[in-house]
Amino acid sequence: MAVYENREAFIPYTRSDIIKLCLQDGRLNGADAQKFQDFCQILTAYYHFRFHKTLEIIKDNYVPFNPNADIQPITPPTFEQYDEMELNIVNAFEHIVERANYVPLPESVVKQALSTKSLIDLKTQVNFDDFDRFLCYYRGDSYKKISVKKLLFWRQEKKIDIFERIVLLVKFKEAAYFRANKVNIQELKFIPGKMYVYFYKNIPKLDVDLLFPNVETSMTWKDRLLFGIPAIGAAIPLILRTLPNLLLLVAAILLVLNLSFLIESLNVELDKVRNFMPVLVASLSLGITLGGFAFKQYNNYKNKKIKFQKIVTDTLFFKNLANNASVFQMFIELAEEEECKEIILAYYHLLTSPTPLTPQQLDSRIETWMENKLGIKINFDIQGPLSNLEDIRGQVVQKNRETTDNVSIIPLLTYNRQGMCQVLPLDDAKAVIDYVWDNAFQFNGIIL
């Protein structure tokens, strides 16, 4: 079984399209084609039921962690129940994202984004100590070319690495942690103790840090220089214009302190110093001038900060796919779709193969078939669908026997002594999956 570094297990077509593709392949006659469609239909219904139970687990346990919850539990959970509920959510989350063919994103990649200049020219900081839990998964590691503005009319073409899809789950520490660190909880952009889940598309690798709700942004040294140098340049002529008023004010202060002998060194007329009105006018003029300049510079800083925040908001707003509870719902559907597509492909190719296949041969056969039919290269995950086919077990009644020995529980997939895969024919496969579906409620106590 070949392993490809640049290929993914994700199948970028719908389940319905995969079924149509199998039927158009011409390996099933009319009767078998209908049976295959029936098999796919009941298989889909069964897996929809299985993933629905996972969704119910998430919904029941996410209530105390949901930052957007508009309902409250009748009885608040104990500390032990609280920890157990958190673990249930995390386990269910990992279950569905992995079955949706997403892979974990190492924390080192996120921290690298913090220390590397990103596409958005901002300095960012994320305090990972704020988290009780941090999980990140992605799908689609690719790149695209963009045009970046450098100077006036000069633009540079740049190639950036992106994650086509990325999902992030963070559980913040409780309020006591932030109080201990002298943090004003009212000023936080998140609620301590809550669990935030975000789902984005087409995020540059070096901008992953912007997805965190506790990210802090500030100007880079380049922006600070571009902001500070013009401010200093504007301040110098202002100081020169206000210097006479400043000297007059200093002289008045020296006179009050009985240091009149120092006034002569300031080259200020003593009569003006002793006259209250010139000093008052000088003080007001100096205060208004310097105050106006300070306000202008502060306003420029605030406008630049708002501009940066707008850049971040625009970047994330148009790339956001879902938040919090809605993320779980979307991934339930994605996982269900991927799981069914893989099982259907594995079963179809074993059913139609003229010779028995090993798992490795089946894996290569599906990958080659997908490339020939659709022109896509995938790294099919063969172990998942084979395990699922083995786990689906039901009764098949042999019509040629009438004794009690004619009924047995058998799986959809078995292996012979040579390690070759064997699947049940369509009639028996339909009977097995129908049996499992009819008896589904016997498995309610199992977390799938």
Phi, psi for 393 (deg, rounded to 5): -125, 140
> Which of 12-26, 136-150, 336-350, 359-373 shows the lowest per-residue confidence on average (mean pLDDT)?
136-150
The domain segmentation of the chain, as residue ranges, is 15-66+327-443, 101-218, 222-308
Predicted pLDDT at 108: 82
Cα distance between residue 272 and residue 281, in whole Å: 11
Q: What's the Cα-to-Cα distance from 49 to each of 88, 253, 307, 439, 447, rounded to whole Å?
A: 19, 85, 48, 12, 12
Residue bearing the bigger pLDDT, 407 or 342: 342
Q: Who contacts 417 (Cβ-Cβ below 8 Å, separation ≥6)?
A: none
Is the pLDDT confidence value at 228 over 80? no
> Which band of pLDDT confidence, cut at 50, 70 and 90, is reported for residue 144?
confident
Distant-in-sequence contacts of 23-26, Cβ < 8 A, 24+ apart:
25/352, 25/373
The predicted pLDDT at position 226 comes to: 54
Residue 123: C-alpha distances to residues 156, 158, 300 (Å): 22, 20, 18
Residues 208, 124: contact at Cβ < 8 Å? no
Which residue did the predictor score with more confidence, 342 or 161?
A: 342
121 neighbors 81 (Cβ within 8 angstroms): no
pLDDT per residue as tens digits for the range 251-289: 666 655 656 555 555 555 555 555 544 544 555 565 566
Q: Quote the pLDDT of residue 124.
A: 73
Question: What pairs with residue 103 in β-bridges?
Answer: 138
Distance in Å from the first CA to the final CA of the chain: 28
Q: Which two tokens stand for residue 212?
A: 């965190």
pLDDT at 443 over 50: no
Helices (H) and strands (E) in the chain, counts: 12, 11
CA dist 373 and 375 (Å) reads 6
409 HSE (CA, 13 A, CB side): 6
